[in-house]
Structure 1
């Protein structure tokens, strides 16, 4: 596979599984979960949005993780470089 072919496959994956939609769905799920005290947060603060983003990305990482051990190990190795 060339780098261009890899880029095409990656972009194809993003088109067929739009992550922005998944992020929005998980955001609304988080906001309506009852686990957050939104009213007590200052409007100018990014603390709660960062907590939500971390939780959303963590949930997505679990959903998207490779199922085969070898692929999971390769992904964990790759994370060390990015």
Structure 2
């Protein structure tokens, strides 16, 4: 596979599974969950937003873990370079 073919495959995957849509859905689920205490936070605070974003990305990462265990090591190694 060439770098351009790899880029095309990535773009196709993003089109099939748009991450922004999933992020938005998980954000609203987080807000509606009742698990957050943000009422007393300052308006310009990003503390809760960062907590939500971290939880969302962690959940998405778990969902997209490579199916084959032999690919887990490669994914973990690549993460070091990002």
Give the TM-score of the pair, scaled to structure 2: 0.97
1:10-49 correspondence runs (5 A): 10-49=10-49
Q: What is the DSSP-based 3-state SS (H/G/I as helix, E as strand, rest coil) of the residue aligned with 1:62? A: helix
Instruction: Tell me the matched-pair count.
Output: 82
Q: Structure 1, unaligned stretches of length 5 or more? A: none
Q: CA-atom RMSD, angstroms?
A: 0.6
Unaligned 5+ runs, structure 2: none
* Counterparts of 1:72 and 1:66, CA distance in 2: 6
Partners of 2:31 and 2:22 in 1: CA distance: 14
Q: CA deviation at 1:77?
A: 0.7
Q: CA deviation at 1:76?
A: 0.4
- 1:56-71 matches, cutoff 5 A: 56-71=56-71
Give the Cα–Cα distance (whole angstroms) in 1 for the partners of residues 70 and 78 of structure 2: 12
Q: Distance in 1 between matches of 2:80 and 2:11?
A: 23
With normalisation by structure 1, the TM-score equals: 0.97
